[in-house]
């Protein structure tokens, strides 16, 4: 890889962005830069992606050859309550980055979601029909669509529910379950929707491998999927995490009905064979990984 080639990672202070930054710090041969906003510090440069002039100045200053766009409003409930802010970040910002990449000959890797599907016909291949059920999924699909309208020098990587090294329990929908269990027992957890918890470190590896592949092959582009390969409902995840916290799984009730509120698909299993055929990635064990994460998290002092 040409050492002068720069990769820009947006959202580098988020759950996934931090993992990408860490992976690049240990294994990437080229130059890279991470940006964030509200939590930016240290090696992460502060940049408001909604500030078009600031983004354009940053682009001109750094001349990134590759852009990994991981910044997003990713919480479905927040998206439903504040659709305009969600659209601004998930769609308008994405369109602006795509136009800058097109203008400068840069490659864009856009992180999307399994929620672009309605969950009625899994497993899903990258080319399958989309039909998002909630505003978050609709905004991420719109982000995919604006990129494809602008140019073709891109890759879209759809991923499912993510977990990893957290700064607080609410940072991941997976570890948010721990907050429920800590709040009161008995607890009632969704046993209807099937999820595929995926470690952000595994996604970070995929992102780096995709950048390296694109550096070696200018024809590498398109829509891809990556996912953990172990299915869990939230109730099942809770029963994996409960013993680590000294909680009896019998105190957790399995709710067989869809959760109220923001609609969510039942099963959006993503087919990852396209990237697997390139010998990309890894899929670590959820029970082993989540135990390691929770044991290194100070649960006693975490209420959010």
* Residues 100-107, mean pLDDT to the nearest whole number: 97
| Residue 281 scores a pLDDT above 50 | yes
H runs (alpha helix) in 63-109: 76-81, 83-87, 93-104
CB 20 within 8 A of CB 207: yes
* Confidence (pLDDT) at 299: 55
Please, what is the average pLDDT of the chain?
94
Q: What are the domain boundaries of the chain?
A: 6-167+198-227+268-283
Both tokens of 217, joined, read: 């092959």
Distance CA 193, CA 295 (A): 27
**DSSP state letter for 139:** H
Taking only the tens place, the pLDDT of each residue in 187-230 is 899 999 999 999 999 999 999 999 999 999 999 999 999 999 99
Torsion of CA 156, 162, 165, 167, to 10 degrees: 100
Higher-confidence residue of 300 and 76: namely 76
| 3 state SS for 223-288 | EEECCCCCCECHHHHHHHHHHHHCCCHHHEEEECCCCCCCCCCCECCECCHHHHCCCCCCCCCHHH
Please write the tens of the pLDDT for every residue from 151-198. Answer: 999 999 999 999 999 988 989 999 999 988 887 788 899 999 999 999
Segment 262-267 shows an average pLDDT of: 96
Topology of the domain covering 6-167+198-227+268-283: Rossmann fold (3.40.50)
Percent of the chain past pLDDT 90, that is, above it, reads: 85
């Amino acid at each position: 890889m040409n050492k002068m080639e720069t990769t820009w990672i947006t959202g580098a202070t988020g759950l996934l962005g931090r993992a990408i930054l860490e992976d690049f710090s240990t294994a990437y041969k080229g130059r890279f830069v991470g940006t964030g906003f509200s939590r930016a510090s240290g090696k992460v440069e502060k940049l408001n992606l909604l500030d078009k002039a600031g983004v354009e100045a940053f682009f001109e200053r750094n001349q990134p050859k590759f852009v990994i766009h991981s910044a997003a409003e990713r919480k479905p409930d927040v998206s439903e309550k504040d659709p305009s802010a969600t659209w601004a970040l998930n769609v308008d910002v994405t369109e602006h980055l795509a136009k800058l990449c097109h203008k400068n000959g840069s490659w864009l890797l856009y992180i999307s979601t399994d929620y672009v599907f309605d969950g009625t016909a899994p497993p899903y291949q990258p080319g399958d029909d989309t039909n998002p059920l909630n505003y978050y999924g609709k905004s991420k699909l719109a982000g995919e669509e604006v990129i494809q309208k602008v140019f073709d020098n891109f890759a879209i990587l759809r991923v499912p529910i993510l977990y990893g090294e957290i700064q607080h329990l609410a940072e991941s929908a997976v570890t948010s379950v721990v907050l429920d269990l800590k709040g009161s027992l008995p607890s009632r957890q969704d046993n209807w929707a099937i999820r595929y918890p995926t470690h952000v470190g595994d996604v970070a590896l995929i992102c780096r491998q995709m950048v390296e592949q694109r550096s070696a092959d200018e024809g590498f582009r398109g829509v891809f999927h990556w996912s953990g390969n172990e299915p869990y409902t939230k109730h099942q995840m809770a029963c994996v995490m409960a013993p680590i916290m000294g909680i009896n799984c019998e105190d957790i009730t399995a709710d067989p009905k869809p959760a109220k509120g923001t609609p969510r698909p039942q099963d959006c299993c993503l087919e990852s064979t396209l990237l697997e055929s390139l010998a990309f990635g890894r899929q670590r064990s959820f029970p082993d990984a989540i135990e390691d994460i929770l044991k290194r998290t100070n649960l006693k002092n975490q209420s959010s």
